[in-house]
Amino acid sequence: MTDTPVMQPRGSLREWLRAPTASSPRQARAQAVWRGWQRLITNRAAFAGLIVLLILVTLAVVGPWLTPYSVMGQDLSVRLQPPSAQHLLGTDDLGRDILTRILYGARITLMMAALVAVIAGPIGLAVGATAGYLGGWFDIVAMRLVDVFLSFPSLILALAFVAALGPGIENAVIAISLSAWPPIARLARAEALTVRKSDYIAAARLQGASPMRLIMKHVMPICLPSVVVRVTLNMAGIILTAAGLGFLGLGAQPPSPEWGAMLASGRQFMLTSWWLAATPGAAIMLVSLSFNLLGDGLRDVLDPRND
């Protein structure tokens, strides 16, 4: 007669995640995510940045249902009105509600920042990881190209690209992406240089893995956490560059409610109607600060020395 195994209760999810040893790769990954989340929420500055960004994204999504005014509608009878109960952030020189335009402008700003991160992040990661692993002539050519890009300030480089491509949101995203990938590539290369001589890379090479497979399956995943932190920290600079292009008339074009364009249209009224320029300027500052705080927190969370 054989003994029937007795199923032991697994306990709560929190106890399972806090188990001292991982019984499976799935549990190990879950424990790593749990520890990272705990470190993030205990970092007050990073958690505050995350909360502000979540609130901003929520407002950008539900913005049309929060205000009764049209983003493009003009009413010259209420132009340059100060903040009041009817218009919480006042009106601009064409009688448009500033709060409505700020909410719609958040969509444009976050969309541009997200597109730049999606374009520049993978390009920088692929170029840097490939250059660091392969070395040789590819490394020399790629890093000299990176040096050329880094020799110019990002805003000046973006201005040159958008001047050649023409004004507009799409061209501004391309121009900012072309100026944002070189720092990511240099960081990924530095990570790849330390990884390529590891024992598990040598073992995978002895098993017949091709250089492309080694880069895609082993080198790039190791470089990814540092790249994510770098992209998050660069988001503030990306937003400032996008606002700068809009301020100079090379980004989003009027009457689009982009924050940089709103700042440019309100600067001529700074002495008489300060809220026209102060409101989009405060929004740019708040989002940039939130990304910086979140990036600092992610750097602590993704640091392997904290495990």
Query: What is the Cα–Cα distance from 295 to 289, expressed in whole angstroms?
Result: 10
Query: What is the Cα–Cα distance from 165 to 63, expressed in whole angstroms?
Result: 32
- The predicted structure's pLDDT at residue 7: 44
| DSSP-assigned letters across all residues of 238-266 | HHHHHHHHHHTTSSSPTTS--HHHHHHHH
Q: Beta-carbon neighbour count of residue 27 at 10 Å? A: 14
- The predicted structure's pLDDT at residue 302: 67
What's this model's pTM, rounded to 2 decimal places?
0.82
Query: What is the Cα–Cα distance from 201 to 187, expressed in whole angstroms?
Result: 19
- Tens-level pLDDT at each residue, the chain (307 residues): 445 444 444 445 455 445 555 555 566 666 666 676 677 777 777 788 888 889 988 988 887 788 888 888 888 888 888 888 888 888 888 889 999 999 998 988 889 999 999 999 999 999 999 998 888 898 899 999 999 998 888 888 888 888 888 888 889 999 999 989 999 999 999 888 888 888 888 888 888 878 888 888 888 888 888 888 888 888 888 998 988 888 888 888 878 888 988 888 888 888 888 888 899 999 999 998 888 888 887 777 766 555 5
- Domains delineated in the chain: 38-64+100-306 (1.10.3720.10)
* DSSP code at position 91: B
Beta carbons of 175 and 119 less than 8 angstroms apart: no
- The predicted structure's pLDDT at residue 10: 46
Convert the pLDDT of each residue in 56-86 to its tens digit. Answer: 889 888 877 888 888 888 888 888 888 888 8
Query: What is the Cα–Cα distance from 17 to 127, expressed in whole angstroms?
Result: 36
Q: Which residues pair with 91 in a beta bridge?
A: 97
Q: Cis peptide leading into 255, omega within 30 of 0?
A: yes
Helices H / strands E in the chain, number of each: 12, 0
Phi-psi region of 252 (alpha: psi -120 to 50; beta: other; left: phi over 0): beta
Lookup result for tokens 């010259």: 76
- The predicted structure's pLDDT at residue 182: 92
Q: Please report how many Cα atoms fall inside a 13 Å half-sphere around the Cα of residue 201, on the Cβ side.
A: 19
Q: Please report how many Cα atoms fall inside a 13 Å half-sphere around the Cα of residue 88, on the Cβ side.
A: 9
Q: Please, what is the Cα angle at 144 between 143 and 145, to 5 degrees? A: 90
